Amino acid sequence: MLAKKNWHQKHFDTLGFGSRLADAVAKSMGSWKFIIVQTVLVVLWMTLNLIAFMKHWDVYPFILLNLLFSTQAAYAAPIIMMSQNRQNERDRAQAQADYQTNLDAKLEIEALTSKLNSIEVDKLDKIIRLLEQMEKQP
């Protein structure tokens, strides 16, 4: 028996390679691991360039490092925006699924309420008939 897919699985199945890659990049760039690794690399870069005895490949004020950061930001911003747009799509899909679930639950509750009301009416009718029968008996 196959399990029914939920909204998240259906949405994930529609994503292409680029979309999945953008989500993975945005997820990794938004992590403490990325910040820590990048900080270590920057400190190492600056330290090596400041204390290098023979060759300074990027002397103070670290123009090459600034260029690398600018390039990283130029690519990171649109990738993160693509991922955020897909998050909005996922949120809309989840909201629609929640709405449909709530609507189905409402209809089911209304049907149960109607059934309970008819059962209650049937009980009351039986009680009235029994009372009427009891009144007719001497």
Domain-wise residue ranges, the chain? 18-136
Instruction: Pick 36 or 19 by higher pLDDT.
Output: 36
Q: How far apart are CA 73 and CA 21, in angstroms?
A: 17
Q: pTM here?
A: 0.61
Q: How far is CA 56 from CA 6, 28, 50, 53, in A?
A: 56, 31, 8, 8
Angle at alpha carbon of residue 69, lines to 34 and 80, rounded to 5°: 60
Residue 104 has a CB neighbour count (10 Å cut-off) of: 10
Q: Quick one: average pLDDT of 49-55?
A: 79
Tokens 């950061």: give the residue.
Answer: 69
- Express each pLDDT in 53-110 by its tens digit: 677 888 888 899 999 999 999 999 999 999 898 889 889 988 998 999 999 999 999 9
Q: What is the pLDDT of residues 6-33, one digit of tens each?
A: 766 777 778 888 888 888 888 899 899 9
* pLDDT given for residue 20 in this prediction: 85
Buried b (16+ CB within 10 A) or exposed e, 68-92: eeeeeeeeeeebbebbeebeeebee
Q: Given this model, what pLDDT does residue 38 score?
A: 95
- Is the distance from CB of 62 to CB of 49 less than 8 angstroms? yes
Rounded Cα–Cα distance for residues 40 and 84 (Å) = 28
Could you tell me if 62 and 46 are in contact, meaning their C-beta atoms sit under 8 angstroms apart? yes
**pLDDT (tens digit per residue) in 109-122:** 999 999 999 999 88
